[in-house]
Amino acid sequence: MPELLQPLLVAAIVSGALITGLLFAFSLVVMRALSELPADAGMRTMQRINVLIVNPLFMVLFFGSSALCLAVAVIAARSLPATGAWLLLAGAIAYLLGPLLTTMVFNVPLNNQLASAAPHEAPTQWPRYVSAWLRWNHVRTALGTVAIALLACGLAATARGL
C-alpha cells in the first residue's frame, strides 16, 4: 500500500472520530435536554444550533473527514487483497454511508424543515422532528463508530503487515 496511507488513515480516524463524537453527544445528551424543554424553547434552540453549526471549522472537519475516507476507499480498493485492505474499504464505506450520506439525505432536510417552522407550530412539529432526527442521528452515529473501529483495525493490520 502507498506510503501516504498511514498519515491519511490517522487523519481520517481522528477527524471521523471528532464528527462521530459530536453526533454521539447529540444522541446521548443534547437532544434529550432539548426535548425536556417546552416545545417552543426546544425548537428555537435547535434552530439556533443548526445555524451555528454551519461554520468553517465544522464544515472543513465534516467534509474533510469524508474526503479522507473517500481517498482511503480508493486506495484500499486498488490494494485488494493486501493485508487490511478489506477493513479499510469497509470502514471508509461505513463512514461515507453514515456521517456523510445519512446527514445529507435525512438530517439536513429535517433541519431545513425545522428552520421554516413557525413558533406556533412547535407543539406538533417539534416532537415529530426530534423523533425522526434522533432516529437518523443514531444510525449515522452507529455507522460512524463502526467506521472508526474498522479503520483503526485496518491501520493496525497494515502497520503489522498481517
Burial class, 113, CB count within 10 angstroms (exposed 0-12 / middle 13-18 / buried 19+) = middle
Tracing cell 425545522 back to the chain, one arrives at 114
Domain layout of the chain by residue ranges: 5-160
Q: How does pLDDT run across 3-33, given as a tens digit for each residue?
A: 889 999 999 999 999 999 999 999 999 999 9
Is the distance from CB of 115 to CB of 47 less than 8 angstroms? yes
pLDDT 10s per residue in the chain (162 long)?
678 899 999 999 999 999 999 999 999 999 999 999 999 999 999 999 999 999 999 999 999 999 999 999 999 999 999 999 999 999 999 999 999 999 999 999 999 999 999 999 999 999 999 999 999 999 999 999 999 999 999 999 998 875
This prediction's pTM: 0.95
